[in-house]
Structure 1
Amino acid sequence: MPFPVHDWQFWVATLAAVGALWFLIRRLMPHRARRRKGRRALLTVEGKPLDHSRSEDRSNAPASR
């Protein structure tokens, strides 16, 4: 018995089956480990809030005392 490739219902059912298979395979496959960005500090060692606008400009500058 040949496939009814000229019938639109065949293609709708085929697309539904392929979509369901794709969904199941995606759910069963392990997720790739995403690399998380490091957390930005909210407080400094002195306990003062970190000013992000100034800290980005001097991120590699030596600490001045």
Structure 2
Amino acid sequence: MPEKNPDPRPEAELDPGASTQMFQAFVDRHEPEESAVPHSRAVLVGVALVGLVIVLVLAWFLLG
């Protein structure tokens, strides 16, 4: 037979560290590192394209 809790309040049955554990579950989450790689690759491709356009425009003006 289960033991009867002498304190009828429901919060008496809760673990005092449970709220801290739940809070830590939200705080300790790490963002995925994979999203940084495509972003930096996209920036690199964009810079390369802009550089290529500038070189082509300069060559067009200079070589006419």
| Bucket of the pairwise TM-score, normalised by the shorter protein | 0.3 to 0.5
TM-score with structure 1 setting the length: 0.36
* Higher Rg of the two aligned structures: 2
Task: Say which structure is richer in helix.
Answer: 2
Higher relative contact order structure (alpha carbons within 8 Å, sequence separation ≥ 6): 1
